[in-house]
Structure 1
Amino acid sequence: MRVHLVWPAGIADLAAPSGGNVYDRRVSAGLSSLGWDVHEILAGGDWPRPDAAALAELRTALDHLDSGELVLFDGLVACGIPEIVVPAARRLRVVVLVHLRLAAETGLANDVRDELDRRERKVLHSAHAVVATSPWAASELASHHNLSVNLVHSADPGVDSSPLARGTDGASQLLCVASVTPRKGHDLLIDALSTINDLDWRLVCVGALEQAPAHLSQFQNDSRIEFVGPLHGPALEQRYDAADLFVLASRAETYGMVVTEALARGIPVLTTDVDPLPQTVGRAPDGGVPGLLVPATGLATALRNWLTDADLRERLRKAARDRRDMLHGWEHTTNRLAAVLTQATRSSPPSG
């Protein structure tokens, strides 16, 4: 079966990783391994608000597809351009993969947020199917945009098996892997750490810095905090291997792939309790939680408890190692997505 995958061109840049890019690359490879005839269309431009040249190039690529062909769009590309996607959905089988609602990005002006939301709603109502990256995100997407629950599906990200992290001293080495943006809450995390200066801790932040909140620059010379930019391959593996605790202070998430990346290495996690992170963190077979889930206001207390309570650290490490064996791989994700795509080839055109 043939499928055209419309991804933002940046997914090919391994030096600028993101959860969405990793997901797109892995399902593209996974569908190929399942025997699908995969054709990638890499859309250049500044998505979700591209220039006229990027729009023209994408429109031309879609116009060359035969009627009835199956197209899977990354939502970052599709959801801001109803003027292209809605007409295309009248003659093509369009499925949209939504990593994050466009209007859910932190820091948008109200008028920009409202316009992106309006555009996204038009696109999703025209699609033959919509895929979100967690059951919570699928439910939230359907509710927010008044979509039929039969239209919206979920395909959780997978995770690769990895060796157990050795850590550093068992307590003080903290790791955050996330682009340094307002949504990921690095400011919340560092503000919390600044209240426990009497304790020994070190924080490594791995992730792109282009959108870093301005006030974080004051910590660039703090010897306890290291911003290393984006890493991948062995360099990233070394940072995970040295971590005693994984930390993520997000203001919003749709899954939290880096959480399962940490758990795959047996690293306990500390995260904010925004949905769907409690489900992503999950529980070990005995019911133990492999980390600490707290509101943003509880980060400082949770960090202090981790650094001062050896029994707590041992309990969380055991739960993390037990949870590690429960995580599913990328083949599960690909199979879920393949089922949605297959169903879309048999569905009637959407009504709206």
Structure 2
Amino acid sequence: MSAELHLVLPGALDQKTGGYLYDARIVAGLRARGIQVHVHSLPGTYPLVDQEAIFEADRVLAGLPDGALVVIDGLALPGVAGSLMVENHRLRLVALVHHPLSLELGLSEAQARTLKLIEQGSLARVQRIVVTSPATAETLLADFHVTRSRLGIVEPGTDRPEAPAAGSGTDELNLLCVATVTPRKGHLILVEALSRLTDLPWRLICIGSITRDPVATAAVQDAIARHGLTGRIALMDEIEPAALQSQYHAADVFVLPSYYEGYGMALAEALSHGLPIVSSNAGAIPTTVPADAGVLVPPGDAAALAAALRRLLTDAGLRSSLTAAARAAASALPTWEDAADRFAAELAGLEPALRRSLARA
């Protein structure tokens, strides 16, 4: 009998945000190990769910066979929360938490409080919880009533490039930011910081969805125009993996001023390309980015971000030092093969057939 599991998540698996990319790579890795993975894509709005989301989540969980091993992406927890009170008695449930939804920027106080209560209740009803960083694990232990015995950590993998980034090769340095345009990712602060550096030669390319949060995108576009940076900052939307790799290869500095990250897959990808990093000291970022490979500033501090960027733009020696440290750190990053092995091992305690699959691998 082969190992089998069900993955439940909002929307399609092929979306290009960090959480969906993680899920897709884990699914591919598990399937490569002979494990059957059934993906259930839920319709409706998330994380502030509508009735369609709740109805379809109930229908999907109710339709799974008794004893099924079910991995629920953390973004789906608000939709399945009600079902878990019924289905946790007959299903083997695992929550995959990329970062707590209640920590997302842009929520009202009431919305954040409601999401936290939903997450706390949902996590209490699953048998196992997998998170993507030690920092997220500590957050759940401290604030979400999670016990360490039910908690496992599987950090994202990276694709090792054939060669480190070559950079622009010119005096005008290429800054790269890879992130969906949402308030949490800090694009507005980045535009504000760069407006103070117009005396220096640079250009910024931002890659990430500009349609997931139209209000946030409009605010960033307005800020770019207001500061007269239209010719120097480009919002490129999502691009295909090969094109994204080309952007990493042509970059001189990677910048991501997030207010919070549960891990920061784009930061790990930047390390794998040997890029010096400017980011914030929020969430898991200080554990993802070694101290000697990047300059980290307080989140939301435009002046500190501008000062850090000015240092890197004007100090070739500093960039060289950070690059060397990034390349050294890259050698210790897990691969996606490692991540799939660790994820399977986290599930093995709930699925005997999966343990046998791992023994044969």
TM-score normalized by the length of structure 2: 0.89
Deviation larger for 245-254 or 168-177 = 168-177
Distance 1:107 1:78 in 2: 19
2:257 matched residue in structure 1: 249
1:40 matched residue in structure 2: 39
**Structure 1: tracts of 5 or more residues without a match:** 284-288, 347-352
For the structure 1 residues 54 and 273, does the alpha-carbon distance in structure 2 shift closer, same or farther, using more than 3 Å as the test?
closer
1:255 deviates by 0.3
1:223 matched residue in structure 2: 231
Distance 1:269 1:301 in 2: 14
1:341 deviates by 1.1
Please list the CA deviations of residues 85-105 of structure 1 after superposition, one character each: whole Å capped at 9, or x if unmatched.
Answer: 221111100000011211111
Task: Give the conservation status (yes or no) of the 8 Å contact 1:136–1:254.
Answer: yes
Residue 305 of structure 2 corresponds to residue 299 of structure 1: yes
Letter in 1 for 2:103: A
Residue 319 of structure 2 corresponds to residue 313 of structure 1: yes
Distance 1:249 1:320 in 2: 18
| Pairs within 5 Å for 1:1-352 | 1-13=3-15, 17-163=16-162, 164-169=164-169, 172-210=173-211, 211=213, 212=216, 214-218=218-222, 219-220=224-225, 222-282=230-290, 289-296=292-299, 297=301, 298-345=304-351
1:286 matched residue in structure 2: none
1:25 deviates by 0.3
TM-score normalized by the length of structure 1: 0.91
1:11 deviates by 2.0
Q: Identical aligned pairs, as a percentage? A: 38
Distance 1:5 1:215 in 2: 35
Distance 1:244 1:216 in 2: 23
Distance 1:301 1:156 in 2: 31
Task: Give the conservation status (yes or no) of the 8 Å contact 1:248–1:271.
Answer: yes
Q: Alignment partner of 2:324: what SS? A: helix
Aligned residues, how many?
A: 338
Letter in 1 for 2:312: W
Please list the CA deviations of residues 252-302 of structure 1 after superposition, one character each: whole Å capped at 9, or x if unmatched.
Answer: 11100001111111111111111311111126xxxxx12212224321111
Q: Alignment partner of 2:7: what SS? A: strand
Letter in 2 for 1:90: H
Task: Give the conservation status (yes or no) of the 8 Å contact 1:96–1:127.
Answer: yes
Q: Alignment partner of 1:81: what SS? A: helix
Deviation larger for 248-257 or 52-61 = 52-61
For the structure 1 residues 123 and 73, does the alpha-carbon distance in structure 2 shift closer, same or farther, using more than 3 Å as the test?
same
Distance 1:227 1:65 in 2: 42
> RMSD of the TM alignment (CA)?
1.7
Task: Give the conservation status (yes or no) of the 8 Å contact 1:78–1:85.
Answer: no
